[in-house]
Amino acid sequence: MKVLVVDDDRLVLSSLKTILEADGDIEAVALGSGRQALEQYDAIGPDVLLMDIRMEGMTGLEVAETLLKRRPEAKILFLTTFSDGEYIAKALELGAKGYLLKQDFESIVPAVKTVFHGQNVFGDGIVTRASARRREGPDLAAFGLSGREAEVVGGVAEGLSNREIAEKLFLSEGTVRNYISAVLEKLGLRDRTQLAVFYYKHL
């Protein structure tokens, strides 16, 4: 597997390359700017792009927006120190496959492999933020959602499958599917990605 790593902090970039290549199954190509990533992406042909969000010159979000228009199949995993809801929402809206906090360094290799296999990934810090927010109460009541519907939306935002949400909330998969369909209709949204974006925008 080939991973393109992009970060404007040289020490972080070097550390990420070391962590990835220590796995043995990953070849890591390191670049120090978003502009370089755009210019060299096609030539490098990475399976996964692991990228910081805040960078000098061109942010990771700007890179993702430009790249995904050209290469909609690109698998982008953001790695950042910021768990801001707006960043998360924008990353998902653009089509990124995941969002990790740099503090979750032990999760980096498993997350890259998960994204490589076509699944979405949210780091522990992101999940903790979402879970904490859900515990504050029926945050989405103003949008006409019940407490249970809000819990299901939170599970979707964490990247959980219908089966995982069902197990967590002690529901059947069919009930979870019905909840999601009802919520999408209430909010006028198209799919799970839009639902996750909606959730993080209102954290």
Quick check: 173 pLDDT over 70? yes
Which residue matches tokens 């096609």?
Answer: 42
- Tens of pLDDT, residue by residue over 142-163, are 888 888 898 899 888 888 889 9
Full set of structural domains in the chain with CATH: 2-122 (3.40.50.2300), 127-201 (1.10.10.10)
| Mean pLDDT of the region 86-108 | 82
Given a cut of 70, whether residue 125 has pLDDT beyond it is: no
CB atoms within 10 A of CB 63: 25
Asked if pLDDT for residue 43 goes beyond 90, the answer is yes
3-state secondary structure the chain: CEEEEECCCHHHHHHHHHHHHCCCCCEEEEECCHHHHHHHHHHHCCCEEEECCCCCCCCHHHHHHHHHHHCCCCCEEEEECCCCHHHHHHHHHHCCCEEEECCCHHHHHHHHHHHHCCCCEECHHHHHHHHHHHHCCCCCHHHCCCHHHHHHHHHHHCCCCHHHHHHHHCCCHHHHHHHHHHHHHHHCCCCHHHHHHHHHHCC
Distance separating alpha carbons of residues 62 and 85, to the nearest angstrom: 17
Predicted structure pTM score: 0.68
Q: What is the mean pLDDT of residues 165-174?
A: 91
pLDDT band at 183 (very low <50, low <70, confident <90, very high): very high
Query: Any bridge partners for residue 100, and if so which?
Result: 79
Comparing 93 with 17, the larger pLDDT belongs to: 17
Higher pLDDT, 69 or 196: 69
pLDDT at 93: 84
Per-residue pLDDT band at 177 (split at 50, 70, 90): very high
Q: What is the pLDDT of residue 140?
A: 79
| Residue predicted with more confidence, 183 or 120 | 183
